[in-house]
């Protein structure tokens, strides 16, 4: 199946993310899932976009690949379809073989850029099962996807900025989940992060090593394509590196 929607309006809908850390005895099974890619999902009702990605060592952002960590990013037309996918056999089989897993259903609030030449758009209200009601006085969790296709000639220059940005992200106050993902080693990279509130996310995004890396990326044209997606959390479940879903 195409990895993105064929709709000229771009990718729009409800996002479902799954993070997995496979048990040692099931790493071969997980590797086959990674090699298979999104082809196994081609008949999933409402699927508009799917990526099955590996990760760096320990779920981080290094060039050393992880034998056990993987991430799945999908977009469905309707929220009910996203929930059905997470409750279905494809995800259940992976969870059974994982020592740790976490998943979430998310609505896109804003997006800029492209993934595989497809732009992303905010989640339409008609895609949601019900209004996402919450107290305006209570800080709300949010998630962020950043991804980029790195120009091969600029890859080594880009990766010099990665260790410091990774350290800052993993230590950032308010960041409860963070993983580095990749479609191809070295040049097609993605980061997923979950934040307790917007101020925490903005403090990281506009300061320190991350800001230095972004400035360098634009100054030296590291990327041939990039995407930034900001999402609100509709539901989450599981556990990931000290973070347990409420």
Give tens-digit pLDDT for 177-224: 999 999 987 899 999 999 999 999 999 988 888 889 999 999 999 999
Look at residue 4 in the predicted model and tell me its pLDDT: 41
Average pLDDT, integer, range 133-139:
61
Residue 242 confidence (pLDDT) above 90: no
Pairing relationship of beta strands 47-56 and 188-195 according to DSSP bridges: unpaired
Residue 6 confidence (pLDDT) above 50: no
Residue 149 confidence (pLDDT) above 90: yes
105 near 14, Cβ under 8 Å?
yes
113 near 228, Cβ under 8 Å?
yes
Look at residue 227 in the predicted model and tell me its pLDDT: 97
Look at residue 58 in the predicted model and tell me its pLDDT: 86
Rounded Cα gap, residues 180 and 167, in angstroms? 12
Look at residue 121 in the predicted model and tell me its pLDDT: 96
9 near 120, Cβ under 8 Å?
no
From the list 85, 71, 73, 77, the residue with the least C-alpha distance to 48 is 77
Domains of the chain: 14-235 (3.30.70.100)
Rounded Cα gap, residues 149 and 224, in angstroms? 6
Classify residue 38 by its DSSP letter.
Answer: G
Average pLDDT, integer, range 52-77:
92
Range in 60-64, 75-79, 126-130, 147-151 with the lowest mean pLDDT:
60-64
| 3-state DSSP assignment of residue 56 | strand
Rounded Cα gap, residues 38 and 49, in angstroms? 9
Q: How far is residue 45 from each of residues 10, 80, 172, measured CA to CA in Å?
A: 18, 10, 37
Spell out where the chain has E strands.
14-22, 47-56, 65-76, 98-115, 118-119, 142-150, 175-184, 188-195, 223-240, 243-244
Rounded Cα gap, residues 107 and 13, in angstroms? 7
Range in 2-11, 63-72, 131-140, 227-236 with the lowest mean pLDDT:
2-11
Q: How far is residue 214 from each of residues 75, 101, 219, 220, 221, measured CA to CA in Å?
A: 26, 30, 9, 10, 10
Q: What percent of the chain has pLDDT over 70?
A: 91
Look at residue 166 in the predicted model and tell me its pLDDT: 84
Look at residue 203 in the predicted model and tell me its pLDDT: 92
Average pLDDT, integer, range 93-104:
97
pLDDT band at residue 83 under the 50/70/90 scheme: very high
Rounded Cα gap, residues 103 and 193, in angstroms? 12
Look at residue 210 in the predicted model and tell me its pLDDT: 87
Radius of gyration (C-alpha) of the chain in whole angstroms: 17
């Amino acid at each position: 199946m195409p990895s993105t929607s064929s709709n000229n309006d771009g990718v729009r809908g409800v996002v479902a993310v799954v993070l997995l850390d496979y048990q040692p005895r099931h790493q071969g099974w997980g590797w086959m899932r990674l090699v298979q890619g999104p082809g196994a999902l081609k008949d999933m009702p409402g699927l508009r976009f799917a990526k099955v990605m590996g990760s760096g060592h320990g779920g981080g952002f290094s060039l050393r690949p992880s034998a056990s960590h993987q991430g799945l990013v999908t977009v469905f037309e309707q929220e009910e379809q996203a929930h059905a996918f997470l409750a279905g056999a494809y995800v259940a089989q992976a969870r059974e073989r994982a020592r740790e897993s976490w998943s979430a259903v998310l609505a896109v609030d804003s997006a800029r850029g492209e993934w595989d030449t497809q732009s992303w758009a905010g989640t339409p209200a008609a895609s949601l099962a019900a209004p996402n009601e919450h107290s305006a006085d209570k800080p709300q969790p949010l998630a962020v996807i950043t991804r980029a296709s790195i120009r091969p000639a600029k890859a080594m220059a880009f990766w010099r900025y990665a260790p410091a940005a990774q350290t800052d992200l993993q230590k950032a106050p308010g960041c409860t989940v963070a993983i580095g993902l990749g479609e191809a080693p070295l040049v097609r990279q993605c980061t997923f992060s979950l934040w307790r509130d917007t101020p925490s996310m903005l403090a990281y995004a506009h300061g320190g090593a991350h800001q230095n890396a972004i400035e360098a990326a634009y100054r030296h044209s590291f990327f041939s394509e990039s995407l930034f997606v900001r999402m609100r959390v509709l539901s989450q479940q599981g556990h990931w590196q000290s973070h347990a879903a409420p």
